[in-house]
Amino acid sequence: MEYHFPDNTVSSSVTYMRTREGPNHFRVYYKNAAVIRMTPKEVGAVFGVARFTPSVNKIRDWCYEMVKEYGSDMDKDNQEYKNYIAKHGFGPEVHSDPTANTKMIT
């Protein structure tokens, strides 16, 4: 199954490839070359010095969403993915402590 990044252009394209056998991966087309990368961090590295631009950050965030939604347990066990979840999370409940504003009744 293939999932294409919604803002793909003629000069750059990112596709998440789900496979029945073997690991899921990303196919990245950039500067007339197609490469296969396994993690969202590696996908960002393909773009070289442009890896910190807003558009590449948007691609990297989309890649993390694909791993969250369709990734295998091995993909979700990756330390880079865990760091991303700890930093960004997928909702406000991830960053708030439910016991922070409570008072003890004596």
The percent of residues above 90 in pLDDT, for the chain, comes to 51
Tens-place pLDDT, residues 25-62? 999 999 999 999 999 999 999 999 998 899 999 999 99
Sequence-distant (6+) residues with CB within 8 A of 48 are none
Helices vs. strands in the chain: H and E counts, helices first: 4, 4
Helix (H) or strand (E) holding 17: strand 12-17
pLDDT at residue 6 in the model: 95
pTM of the model: 0.74
In 1-106, which ranges are continuous DSSP H helix?
40-46, 54-70, 73-76, 79-88
Mean of pLDDT over the chain: 84
